[in-house]
Amino acid sequence: MYEVDHTNSTFVIAQMPKMTAINSCIEVDLTGQVVSDSIGTRMYSGFGGQVDFIRGAAEGLDGKGKPILAFPSSAKGISKIVPFVKQGAGVVTTRAHVAYLVTEFGIADLFGKTLRQRAYELIQIAHPDHRESLEKAAFERLKTMPTK
């Protein structure tokens, strides 16, 4: 049995052909910052090897890796796609490492996108009940409307 320094090594993960890493999260802000371990200042869970597998899949030597974050668009009527992460929440996966986010409403491909484009992509996969408020928040945050 391998130790965690081997199983979670981005070097080892990147060598696996067509590596698909599927992780989840608690919330994502409109720029793609991912919170996976806390709700505000309250620790909810560990983040395990999320960053290792996201980076390893993205850096796959065969160029066919897919780093994916899959999550429900809302929980108990509250959007998991938010204008800003909650105060005190820990960003586990930075927007620099996020490529694909998936909800029941579709796939947001954020790789290489501007902040405006990222906001647009994320709003498209948000629950329809929250899209209008997210558009308004994106305008306030980015001082421009989110676009493709």
In a domain, 81, yes or no: yes
In a domain, 84, yes or no: yes
More confident call, 146 vs 139: 139
- Half-sphere exposure of 23 toward its Cβ, with a 13 Å CA cutoff? 30
Per-residue CA distances from 63 to 4, 37, 69, 79, 103 (Å): 24, 29, 18, 33, 24
90 pLDDT band (50/70/90 cuts)? Answer: very high
In a domain, 147, yes or no: no
Q: Per-residue pLDDT averaged across 106-111, rounded?
A: 98
In the chain, % of residues over pLDDT 70: 100
Q: How far apart are CA 60 and CA 39, in angstroms?
A: 31
Tens-digit pLDDT profile for residues 6-50: 999 999 999 999 999 999 999 999 999 999 999 998 888 887 899
Q: Which single residue is written with the structure tokens 């030597």?
A: 61
Four-CA torsion 20, 85, 142, 114, nearest 10 degrees: -10
Closest residue by Cα to residue 54 from 40, 36, 29: 36
Helices (H), the chain: 4-7, 10-14, 50-58, 115-125, 128-142
Q: Per-residue pLDDT averaged across 95-117, rounded?
A: 97
CATH number assigned to the domain comprising residue 16: 3.40.1080.20
What 3-state DSSP class applies to 23? strand
Report how many domains make up the chain.
Answer: 1
Q: Which residue range is the domain that position 55 belongs to? A: 4-142
What pLDDT is stored for residue 116 in this prediction?
A: 95
What pLDDT is stored for residue 86 in this prediction?
A: 95
